[in-house]
Amino acid sequence: MQKLKKLLTVVAFLSVTDAHAADATITELYDAASAIQQKLQMSNAAFTIDMMAHQGYVVETGITDTAVITDAMVTDYNNAISNVLNASYLTAKDVFLEKHDEAINNMHNAIGDLLDATSKLSTVSVVAELALNADTTQEQLQVQQALQQTDMTITEADVNNYNEALGSVESFAQQAGAFLSAANNEGITSAVDSYSAQNNIAVASYSQITYTQNIDTFIISYDNDLYMSFQGAFTNQMVTADDLYGTAMYVQ
C-alpha cells in the first residue's frame, strides 16, 4: 500500500503541471499521462472493494473495468515520451547563441593556429631589426654574415599556414558577431520563431545557418526548401580596417 501511495504522489504532480501555452509535444505528454493518472486514481476503489468483501458484499463482474489501463493508453503515453525526447524546444535566440559560442570556439582555435604560424615566421622580425641598424659597411657585412650562418628564409608552406589561419580568424569572427547580433535582434528572433511555428518545424532542425558579410545577408535554411533571409540587419555593427587598426588595440 505504501508503494501505491508513493506512485500516486509522483503521478499527481502531473495534474498540477500548467500545460497551457506549452509545445504540442508537452501537451500531448500531459494528456497521455493524465489519462493514465485518472485510471490510477480510480484504482483506489480497490480498498472499498476490500471493505465490501469483508462485509459479505459481492461486486459485479467488470466493476473494475473503469480503472483498466488500455493498450492504446500505453502506446499514446510511450509515444508522447518518445516525441518529447526527440523534440527541440530551443528558440531562435537559443540557437543563435549556440552558434555564436561555436564560432567563438572556432575563432579561438584559429587564433591558436595563427600564433603557431606567426612563431615560425618570427625570423622575419630578427632580419628586420638587423637591417634597420645596418647603416655602415661593417654593419651590412655583419648582416650578410649572420644570414650566411643562419638560414632565415621562410617557406611557402609556413606563409600559407599563416594566411589560412588569418583568414579563418576573420571568417569565424564574422560568424560569431553575426550570430550574437541576430540573437539580440528581436525582429529576427521573433520572425524565425513565428516562421518555424507556422511551418511546424523546430528552429533547431535547421539544415544550415550562414552569414555573408559583403552583402550583409543572414540566412537560416531548413529542409524542403524552407528558409528565411535577412539583409542589411547588421549595418551598424560593421567594423572596417580603418576602425580596427585605427584603435591601436592589436598586440604587436
pLDDT tens column, 115-125: 999 988 888 88
| Length of the chain, in residues | 252
pLDDT of residue 3: 39
**In 3-state terms, what secondary structure has residue 62?**
coil
Query: Which range marks the domain in which residue 44 is found?
Result: 2-86
The least confident of 6-15, 64-73, 125-134 is 6-15
Same domain, 148 and 205: yes
How would you classify the pairing of strands 208-212 and 227-231? unpaired
Mean of pLDDT over the chain: 86
Same domain, 17 and 119: no
Same domain, 32 and 134: no
Same domain, 126 and 221: yes
Give the cell for residue 36. 493514465
Whole-angstrom distance, CA of residue 194 vs CA of residue 201: 10
Same domain, 63 and 126: no
Residue 238 predicted with pLDDT over 90: yes
Same domain, 174 and 237: yes
Same domain, 38 and 104: no
Whole-model pTM?
0.68
Domain boundary among 71, 86, 101: 86
Give the 3-state secondary structure percentages of the chain, helix then strand then coil, rounded to 5: 65, 5, 25
User: How many domains, the chain?
Assistant: 2
Same domain, 116 and 166: yes
Whole-angstrom distance, CA of residue 140 vs CA of residue 158: 27
Q: Is residue 26 part of a domain?
A: yes
pLDDT of residue 111: 97
pLDDT of residue 2: 42
Whole-angstrom distance, CA of residue 171 vs CA of residue 174: 5
Domain boundary among 43, 58, 86: 86
Q: Is residue 252 part of a domain?
A: no
